[in-house]
Amino acid sequence: MNIKIIAVGKIKEKYSKEAIDEFKKRLGGYCSLSLIEIPAQEIKDDSLAEKYKELEGEKILAAIKPDSYVITLEILGKSLSSEEFAQKVKELSQSGHNEIVFVIGGANGLSPQVSNRADFKLSFSKMTFTHQLIRIFLYEQIYRAFKIINKESYHR
């Protein structure tokens, strides 16, 4: 299974990088994992926020293959338990989807074009989290999903 994460912005904090690197290392035995970081548009004028979101969205869409299964992370997406998320990953793998793409938007969210491209919209919470935390949450949940799929122990 190929998993691609497309994220707007870079991780700067050392502790966040270390957590992500740990999960990337753990995931190595379960899937091929890649990351594409889209540069965040610096917001100098709030009236241009939608334009910046569109520019980020164009770059996101350019990084997605036509046959990829796209899961966007959105506050208004569907909430799943870890077991339900694992089942979703397993079903996608068994139904012939070679690549799952997870998309994390920038500070302004996702453009409507990116949201419309989604095959599934996933929400971790109705709360707003920092970009760094969401990335860590995503890597951890992907790892947890593979542990569940393979019936391997992992803390609850």
- How would residue 156 be classed by pLDDT, with cut points 50, 70 and 90? low
* Residue 3: predicted pLDDT: 98
Encode pLDDT of 69-122 as tens digits: 999 999 999 999 999 999 999 999 999 899 999 999 998 899 999 999 999 999
* Residue 44: predicted pLDDT: 77
Q: Model's pTM, two decimal places?
A: 0.95
Q: Which two tokens stand for residue 130?
A: 């920092």
Distance CA(103)–CA(6), nearest Å, equals 5
Backbone angles phi, psi at 32, to 5 degrees: -90, 125
CB-CB neighbours of 11 under 10 Å = 19
* Residue 42: predicted pLDDT: 77
Nearest to 82 by CA among 36, 26, 15, 144: 144
Q: Please give the share of the chain, as a percent, with pLDDT higher than 90.
A: 81
- How would residue 155 be classed by pLDDT, with cut points 50, 70 and 90? low
Order across the sheet with 2-8: list the strands.
32-38, 2-8, 99-104, 69-79, 120-123
Domains of the chain, with CATH numbers? 2-149 (3.40.1280.10)
Over residues 23-52, mean pLDDT: 90
